[in-house]
Amino acid sequence: MTRTAIVTGAARGIGAATAKRLAADGHAVAVVDLDEAACADTVAAITAAGGRGIAVGADVSDANAVRDAVARVAAELGAPTILVNNAGILRDNLLFKMTDDDWDAVMNVHLRGAFLMSREVQKHQVDAGWGRVVNLSSTSALGNRGQANYSAAKAGMQGFTKTLAIELGRYGVTANAIAPGFIVTDMTRQTAERIGVGFDDFVAHAAKEIPVQRAGQPEDIAAAASFFCSDEAGFVSGQVLYVAGGPRA
């Protein structure tokens, strides 16, 4: 059955891979990111493969922007019943160097963004009597040096997910979280630059520490999201799936 999905932070990386996978699964997909023009490549890949997709520019931490974005998606693609809250940013620093803005920016995009998007989309899910919410957490939720803000936000996504599962389950809506480990994306490239390590060396070192002996790819996360968004996953809710190549980050 064709449904309408929204994937935030979908201009690149995990979000882009997830948007393309959901389109391949037969859904119409709204590719949402801060810069609408940056979504063009993802949308082009979807349409080239025979799918339906639109680019939507929106700041997920802005309530009015979220309201307008979801309304536009409903008008152009149909009422959205699948939501993947993937939008995220890094503002890494050690605690004593972390600024108020570093903290607030990360909380606003990750937690406030997921809250605003979920609150807006749940109306359509409840009306339909069916829905899927997938929130992106991280192995950093377990703690990670230099990421007090990011770790707190990603741990918060897990609690948020479990509460959505409890509140929305009676309406046929499931909510689950994916906690990626080391994934090769622009964000991990930023981390390598921050600590002054060449990206290839950074990836190779990370792979040695992972039981399956390789770094993760965005498509690994997209596959997990595809399952959570499926009809077959209707009895799976409130769960956190660590997609990290092993039991530890």
- Residues annotated catalytic, as ranges: 150
Q: Which residue has tokens 């359509």? A: 124
State the distance between the two ends of the chain, measured CA to CA, in whole angstroms.
Answer: 36
Distance, in Å, from the CA atom of 42 to the CA atom of 16, rounded to the nearest integer, reads: 6
Q: Give the β-pairing of 240-243 and 28-33.
A: unpaired
- Number of Cβ within a 10 Å radius of residue 119: 14
Q: Which residue has tokens 């520490």? A: 209
Q: Which residue has tokens 């990370």? A: 206
Q: Do 205 and 182 meet the contact criterion of CB atoms below 8 Å apart?
A: no
Dihedral in degrees, nearest 10, Cα atoms 143, 217, 39, 112: -20
Dihedral in degrees, nearest 10, Cα atoms 69, 75, 76, 81: 70
Q: Do 119 and 133 meet the contact criterion of CB atoms below 8 Å apart?
A: no
Q: Which residue has tokens 């609690």? A: 159
What contacts 30, CB < 8 A, 6 or more positions away?
4, 5, 6, 7, 53, 54, 56, 69, 73, 76, 77, 80
